[in-house]
Amino acid sequence: MKRLSGITHLLACGLVFFAAGCSGGSSSGDANINIEVSQDLDADPDGLTTRVTLESEPLATLVAGNFEASDGQTAQSVSGAGSDLLVLWDERVTPSHQVRVTGISELNDAFVDVTTTDEASPTFSVTDAVQNPGFGGDSIEVTFSGARLVVEQVTEPTNWLLWVDGSQLDLTGSTVTFDTPTQVAALTLGSGANLHASFQLAVDSMWSVADVALSDQPVAGAASGDSTSPNLLPDGAVQNLLQDEYGRIVDFTFDEAMDPVSSLSVTNFLLSEPDIALNVTQPSPETLRVIFSTAVIPGVDQVTLQNLTDVHGNAHAGGAQAIVQPSPIANAFAASEATTVENEGEDYLSFSFDQAFDSESAVDAANWSISVDATPVNLGAQEWSYNFIEKTVLVELDFDMKNGDAYQFSALGVLDVDGDLFIGSATGVVSGDDAEVFVTSAIQNRSIDPFGKTIEVTLSEDVEQAAAEDTSNWSFVGGGVNVLAATLQPGFDRVRVLTDSPPTPGDHTLTVANLEDLAGNVMNAPQTTITITSTDSTPPRATHATASAIEGADNDELLVAFNDDIIVSEAIDDTNWTVESPIGSQRNTTGASITYDPTMRRATLVFVDATGVNLQRGDDYSITLAGMRDIAGNEVVNAPLTGMVVAEDNLPAAHSGWRDSVFQNEVVVRFTEHCSGVADLWDFPGNVEGTRYVLRDSLGIERGTPSTATELDDGLGVRLNFGFVVSPGDTLDVWGTTDLTGNYMFPVTVMPLAAEDSAEPLMNLGVDVLEARSGESNDVVTIDFDRAMSPWSLTDWSNYSVTDGGDPIDLSAASFDFQEPATVSIDLDSMSADSFQVPSTYTVSVDGVQTAQGVVMSSSDSVPGVAVSGDLADPSVGVNGIRMMSSDTNALLFRADEALDRAYASTPGNYNYNNGNFGQEAVLVGPRVVRVSFAVEPQIGFPIAFGMTDLAGNFTGALVNFVAGVDSAAPLLLFVDGTSVADRGGDMVSVTFDEPVEVLTAQDLSNYTVTNGSNDVSLIGALARYVSGSNTVEIHLGDDVDLDPHQLLTIAVANVMDHSGNPMPSTPVALNGVIGGDATAPGIVSAFANRDEDSSGLIVDVLFDEDVEMTFATDSMNWAASGGQVIAGVLAIDSDYVRVVMLEELESGDWLDLSAGLPDPARNVAGLLSVTPEL
């Protein structure tokens, strides 16, 4: 019977108590005899008998039926007498149970615990162990001591545990017999367990018949019968190709059965790292089958055996074992191919075989020979791999094969897995990629080429360079685009095509032919109509525009700037322009001259004669563009650009007049610029808005007005027919017209009429035509003509040239001035102006100018051999002119008295210190200061030989001077002054230092603070210029700044540095000065009744001789008419021009008065001003 656990016992007891309604006491008041129950192993070693002891002998005789056990055991018999009874049960009654007596009223019928006569735990020992050959069959004899054991537990093999060398053995198949009387168990082991010389045995779940558990502690045992070590049979390590064709299985066969536990460890079988044993099985007692991670090659590889034992623990000697293959298999090529694939690289050779190779030998290039197209392949440069399972060698090539090429692949002795060396060859023809290359996209790449001339062509695969870069294989359909270059890009599937002009997406398509891919496939036919797209999909915009009314005829222009490159043909198409000026009045653009500057992204439309358009001052404009695209094919945003016409404000004037020498009733008048309506004659009252011409005699008496007029040169002149002979002393009054921009002409009165002169102009050059002046940017050209000249285009720099042996003097930035009647002066005053060279002569040429009577120079007038006058003095370096530098003890500063030629001054060999130490570096650090570095430190008083050339080419020859001391003093201010000029802007202040100063700090306006009286003078918009000859900084003030010469000038200077590096203090040093210049009060030049603005004569335009303060000039309270007419208001037209609006017309002889007090920008105040307008 299975022993009850403690919980089962308590539960059973509890149930009994519950059923009995008692707790160990009598079930009735009369039951007062108690019993004790003990399992009596002395009386019955099998534990089936209990001894029942009564407190007193009952009257009744107890029989088996009076006894009841808690686990349902049934009493079989009762023996004994009196109070000591033996009860035999059908099953064991142990201390795990309770017993009671029932049916006897004298006895307490409650269950009582059972005790036992032997509570000790039985023990056992191994009394014998025998080793028998083969798996299993070994025997163990175990003898128990103490109370007898439960037989069925002893004979259950699973209740036994056996360890050998710390490993528990599998006792499956083992049998156990048990002799109860002797308490000896005999174990015969199954095939999974064998005894070594020493072992351990333990029991599990065994109890004595008294329900006392046996200890589970192992008991040592010793076995005998087999002490012979196992041996590997001759050629017992055999590669088993039947089990694994890849040669990874080796069978190791011994002369006896091997231990199935310790021998099956993969660590017992060692190959060279990193190869290992993966699994060990035992197909027979004597054979161990090992699966390795790689092929174990007979005759090559060895397996080291270790820790192997036979079934009884006898150790094998171990050591390296050679592997044999008694039946090798012949190898052969199974398949071969040479394959091309798209794109660069990745072509490969693949070869399969009947039998697997050793993996290392298979990828050893020395074991193979390969040729493609009869050319040996550099095998060491290829990528080799081997698929062991597929038995395939793969050679990935570093070059590209061509389809149709022959190949040969030879094995020169590759190691098979069975240990044989394979030799053989395979041949074939290269095949694979047979698809033609084609263009997948053609993109105008404006990210790398904003000019749109670069097309990025992407191909379906990599191609050969020669065909890809052959420009004849590429063409554009659509006209006007030629291929300049084609460059194959890294990756070999993109070609960058460069064109001479941008192909436009939508207008042009791409054609490509004859491309060859790397597999040798050539395009059979050209690929045509390839769509071109662009990286740019943003519609371009016209960002801003200006409309300019320019002095002269047929030259007004519109300028439109774009934010992208526009197709030139569309930008210059006049049908794509719609212009209104003023807005609402469309202007003719047909025949306009339109240019497009792709660099500036700017289109310029000029209203030439064919358009008949002249823009007017004061008008607004609207420009609408349509039909234009950028070079990426995106249409220009169709949004009008609007603004005000920017007009020149030069007032036209009648410049000259003469009597026709043939038709003495005719007078020709030339104007300073092209004018409008010059032939539209004034007539009262029919055409009071016409141009008025009044002929007077020498006494000023009116003789008459012209009867007819003919416009000349687009309004630059007019021929007047008076119908009577014009006398030599007659004069002419002219007014009432405008220039083409709309600027009114003020009256020119008493203009003398000259005799007609039809001769072309020529230069009448004097002595000082070309004057070189000491210093920089100050040379002058003076050209005299042989007769009076027209100012029209006379100061256009492109009409003049001054050349020295073919090298022109740059006149484009020079200042031109016309001095009536026939002199033009040209100041070379720009910052980068050229200088005349005294030793040279020049050719002076003029072309395109005209006389005051409009006779145009028909061909260029050139005068060669013109000498240079002016500065003929050599430059010099005075005493103390060579100074040492504290910041660089190897350098000297040379201070000349004028600006120097840079090339000569910067030649180090021109400076010889102390007879033999030539300069190492020479730098012109200022216009007249040179810093020369030497290899030695110059010393005070030592000589230095040198030479210098000024900007005019005057050369000193060899000079000798002496080194002076170190310059350690900062620059000092000598004086400051200012210059006020007539009109707005143009004023200047200047600062003169005691020594040459460094140009950058000298021209830094932040180093200056200027005050005029108590007012700060703004330097915004000012321009600083350094004049080296006088150490002066000229600050030309902005256009909105005017000095007051009546107030003190104060200039504070800081941080300006000399060339030795000595700076002025950061705290400004101030010095006072005076302002000279304009001291003349303003006056009135002319006035006329502007009948264009008001035909009734109520508007009078007044012109001052300079700019005036408009607050005063436009105050109607400051004006009065001599006839008492009421002045309604005064409008400012320009800074020197007002329009007086009256309520009543002036009568002949009436004048206008302007009260005293009108200031000009220089604060010069006029007295009472009066003017009699021409009516």
Cβ-contact 746, 715 below 8 angstroms: no
In the DSSP assignment, the letter for residue 489 is P
Give all strands (DSSP E) within 550-632, no chain letters.
557-562, 577-580, 586-587, 593-597, 602-606, 620-625
**Statement to judge: residues 13 and 82 lie in one domain:** yes
pLDDT at 33: 87
Cβ-contact 979, 988 below 8 angstroms: yes
Mean of pLDDT values over 762-780: 88
- CA–CA distance from 29 to each of 18, 26, 69, 105 (Å)? 19, 7, 23, 10
Cα–Cα distance between 869 and 46 in angstroms, integer?
Answer: 155
At 461, is the pLDDT very low, low, confident or very high (cuts 50, 70, 90)?
A: very high
The string of pLDDT tens digits covering residues 1012-1055 is 999 999 999 999 999 999 999 999 999 999 999 999 999 999 99
pLDDT at 806 over 90: no
What percent of the chain is predicted at pLDDT more than 90? Answer: 87
At 8, is the pLDDT very low, low, confident or very high (cuts 50, 70, 90)?
A: very low
At 30, is the pLDDT very low, low, confident or very high (cuts 50, 70, 90)?
A: low
The token pair at 1032 is: 């002066």
3 state SS for 319-332:
EEEECECCCCCCCC
Mean of pLDDT values over 636-661: 93
**Statement to judge: residues 10 and 112 lie in one domain:** yes
Q: How many of the other CB atoms lie within 10 Å of CB of 347?
A: 25
pLDDT at 81: 84
Q: Rounded to an integer, what is the distance from CA 868 to the centroid of its chain?
A: 57
Residue 760 lies in a domain: no
The string of pLDDT tens digits covering residues 303-332 is 999 999 999 999 999 999 999 999 999 999
**Statement to judge: residues 307 and 254 lie in one domain:** yes
The string of pLDDT tens digits covering residues 1112-1152 is 999 999 999 999 999 999 999 999 999 999 999 999 999 99
**Statement to judge: residues 788 and 858 lie in one domain:** yes
Mean of pLDDT values over 80-87: 91
pLDDT at 60 over 90: no
At 12, is the pLDDT very low, low, confident or very high (cuts 50, 70, 90)?
A: very low
**Statement to judge: residues 987 and 1069 lie in one domain:** yes
For all residues of the chain together, what is the average pLDDT? 92
Which residues have a Cβ under 8 Å from the Cβ of 193 and sit 6 or more positions away? Answer: 136, 138, 162, 164, 169, 170, 171, 174
Cβ-contact 507, 486 below 8 angstroms: no
Strands 1119-1121 and 1127-1134: unpaired
Q: H or E element: which one contains 786?
A: none
What percent of the chain is predicted at pLDDT more than 70? Answer: 97
Domain count, the chain: 11
Cα–Cα distance between 655 and 625 in angstroms, integer?
Answer: 41
Domain boundary among 222, 246, 276: 222
Mean of pLDDT values over 882-900: 94
The token pair at 995 is: 């020594």
Q: What is the CATH number of the domain that holds 749?
A: 2.60.40.1220
**Statement to judge: residues 1073 and 1088 lie in one domain:** no
**Statement to judge: residues 312 and 342 lie in one domain:** no
The string of pLDDT tens digits covering residues 404-433 is 999 999 999 999 999 999 999 999 999 999
The token pair at 190 is: 């199954």
Strands 988-993 and 754-755: unpaired
Domain boundary among 496, 517, 534: 534
**Statement to judge: residues 427 and 362 lie in one domain:** yes
At 122, is the pLDDT very low, low, confident or very high (cuts 50, 70, 90)?
A: very high
Residue 761 lies in a domain: no
Half-sphere exposure of 928 (CA within 13 A, CB side): 26
CA-based nearest residue to 691, from 702, 675, 678: 678
**Statement to judge: residues 372 and 446 lie in one domain:** no
pLDDT at 1075 over 60: yes
pLDDT at 343 over 90: no
pLDDT at 843: 92
Q: What are phi and psi of 245, to 5 degrees?
A: -65, -15
pLDDT at 765: 82
- Which residues, listed in sequence order, are joined to residue 24 by a DSSP beta bridge? none
pTM: 0.61
In the DSSP assignment, the letter for residue 86 is E
Cis amide prior to 685 (ω within 30 degrees): yes
Half-sphere exposure of 1141 (CA within 13 A, CB side): 10
Domain, as residue range, for 892: 882-962
At 261, is the pLDDT very low, low, confident or very high (cuts 50, 70, 90)?
A: confident
Mean of pLDDT values over 477-487: 95
**Statement to judge: residues 946 and 891 lie in one domain:** yes
pLDDT at 161: 96
Mean of pLDDT values over 353-369: 95
pLDDT at 953 over 90: yes
Q: Provide the Cα torsion 765, 766, 770, 772; round to 10°.
A: 180
**Statement to judge: residues 730 and 786 lie in one domain:** no
pLDDT at 219 over 60: yes
Residues in the chain: 1175
Residue 904 lies in a domain: yes
**Statement to judge: residues 1165 and 1071 lie in one domain:** no
Domain boundary among 388, 416, 432: 432
Mean of pLDDT values over 647-651: 89
Our CA angle for 536, 542, 543, nearest 5°, is 100
Q: Which residue has the tokens 């496939």?
A: 521
The string of pLDDT tens digits covering residues 493-521 is 999 999 999 999 999 999 999 999 999 99
